[in-house]
């Protein structure tokens, strides 16, 4: 249990400022299309409610530009939140001022108050201490359960913690994320295998460099592998790659060799003559893609090799798809890897999955609950894997 966990704290009679992530996707009619982030906050909210706390919820939503904008109002989540918590939710379209102060002061144990979108104040994204102090005056302790915003030093999720030096905690979601990331990066059982994919080396350089001295095996998949393949002299046809990152790719491979890290680049590929689900396809060696064709997925031999590495591992990190996952014809490699990682977990391995397409794959296949840890925070997890300090975590742990 994390030392800042709420698990053994009784919040009876207290006014808890709870930072959540209700930045949920909505359609054009402002109907919520995926309430995952709201449901993930429920264990913490229910714990506080059962303790007899009065809960004041803070969240951002979208990226409003100039103050209040009805398109970004959290009013749209109130009715669904009431369904989830099974009780009325008070709401204010103000964030600060006498009305909000009065509502917070009069909030009784077991009641919930949802504040308006924190990003309607410019000081939120600037990490304004004065704004954070105004937020802090509404409650008598602070709980951060918004891992998806942990990499932002904003007023409501990081700076506010300064005003609660002895009363700041992680909600259950944050605790789960922090504990699992630390287990992954600081105490991995070996062999430790990282599977890193995606379309561009440039978006994953910092992760690759930070993992070089931590892993035993590095599997490089997705479009980014073709920068490596071309750097090694392979013929890659029209496959996505970055010429200006080839020297970095070579240096990464040299560094892995120096450190004894075994790295694997898929040896065969499913290629297509057009970026289309209905394109003509072939399976060829990854270093011999004909002109006019491009790689779209890992081939069967590559999948077999990846399976062997994954099932021999005790710790696995998977971030990024094997191919053009959004086109069903080219989703097989990503699905296969998801199955291998799930099988490794069943055999006792610890596996962490993060990144939009990787998470989408395990969700789509219905195997998320078979994995040790599926991260909810895309950007936050990536920055943690890059070795960066996350302000939302540091603020509570300091």
Report the alpha-carbon distance of residue 303 to residue 333 in Å, rounded.
7
Cβ within 8 Å of residue 213, ≥6 positions away: 259
Selecting among 19, 37, 119, 335, the annotated active-site residue is 37
End-to-end Cα, the chain, rounded Å: 17
For 29, 83, 151, 388, the CA distances from 142, given in Å and listed in that order, are 33, 24, 18, 24
- Name the token pair of 172: 């259950």
- Name the token pair of 353: 């999955």
Selecting among 13, 97, 292, 379, the annotated active-site residue is 379
Selecting among 47, 90, 183, 200, the annotated active-site residue is 200
Tell me whether residue 304 is one of the annotated catalytic residues.
no
Cα dihedral 131→135→137→138 (10° resolution): 160
Burial class (CB in 10 A: 0-12, 13-18, 19+), 165: exposed
User: How many helical (H) and strand (E) elements, i.e. helices and strands, does the chain have?
Assistant: 14, 17
Cβ within 8 Å of residue 102, ≥6 positions away: none
Tell me whether residue 37 is one of the annotated catalytic residues.
yes
Tell me whether residue 379 is one of the annotated catalytic residues.
yes
Report the alpha-carbon distance of residue 264 to residue 322 in Å, rounded.
13
Selecting among 356, 387, 388, 394, the annotated active-site residue is 356
Determine phi and psi for 295, rounding to 5 degrees: -75, 140
Tell me whether residue 377 is one of the annotated catalytic residues.
no
Q: With the C-alpha atoms ordered 97, 103, 105, 110, is the resulting torsion angle positive or negative?
A: negative
**Which residues are known catalytic residues?**
37, 200, 356, 379
């Amino acid at each position: 249990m994390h030392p800042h966990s709420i698990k053994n704290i009784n919040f009876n009679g207290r006014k808890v400022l709870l930072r959540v992530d209700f930045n949920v996707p909505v359609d054009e009619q402002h109907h919520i299309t995926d309430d995952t982030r709201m449901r993930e906050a429920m264990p913490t909210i229910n714990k506080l409610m059962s303790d007899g706390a009065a809960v004041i919820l803070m969240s951002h939503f979208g990226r409003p530009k100039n103050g209040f904008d009805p398109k970004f109002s959290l009013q749209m989540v109130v009715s669904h939140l009431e369904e989830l918590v099974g009780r009325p939710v008070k709401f204010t379209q103000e964030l600060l001022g006498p009305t909000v102060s009065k509502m917070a002061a009069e909030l009784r144990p077991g009641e919930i108050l949802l504040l308006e979108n924190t990003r309607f104040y410019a000081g939120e994204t600037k990490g304004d201490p004065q704004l954070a102090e105004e937020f802090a005056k509404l409650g008598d302790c602070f709980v951060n359960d918004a891992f998806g915003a942990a990499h932002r030093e904003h007023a409501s999720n990081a700076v506010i913690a300064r005003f609660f030096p002895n009363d700041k905690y992680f909600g259950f979601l944050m605790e789960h994320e922090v504990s699992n990331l630390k287990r992954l990066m600081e105490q991995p059982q070996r062999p430790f295998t990282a599977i890193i994919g995606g379309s561009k080396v440039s978006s994953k350089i910092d992760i690759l460099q930070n993992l070089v001295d931590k892993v035993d095996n590095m599997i490089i998949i997705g479009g980014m592998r073709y920068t490596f393949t071309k750097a090694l002299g392979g013929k890659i046809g029209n496959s996505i790659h970055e010429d200006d990152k080839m020297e970095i790719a070579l240096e990464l491979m040299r560094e892995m060799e120096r450190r004894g890290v075994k790295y694997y680049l898929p040896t065969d590929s499913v290629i297509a003559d057009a970026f289309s689900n209905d394109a003509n396809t072939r399976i060829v060696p990854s270093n011999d893609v004909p002109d006019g064709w491009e790689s779209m997925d890992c081939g069967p031999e590559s999948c077999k090799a990846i399976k062997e590495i994954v099932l021999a591992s005790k710790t696995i990190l998977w971030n990024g798809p094997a191919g053009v996952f959004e086109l069903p014809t080219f989703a097989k490699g990503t699905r296969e890897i998801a199955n291998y990682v799930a099988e490794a977990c069943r055999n006792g391995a610890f596996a962490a999955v993060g990144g939009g397409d990787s998470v989408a794959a395990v969700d789509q296949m219905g195997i998320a609950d078979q994995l040790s840890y599926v991260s909810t925070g895309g950007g936050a997890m990536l920055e943690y894997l890059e070795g960066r300090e996350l302000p939302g975590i540091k603020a509570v742990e300091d």
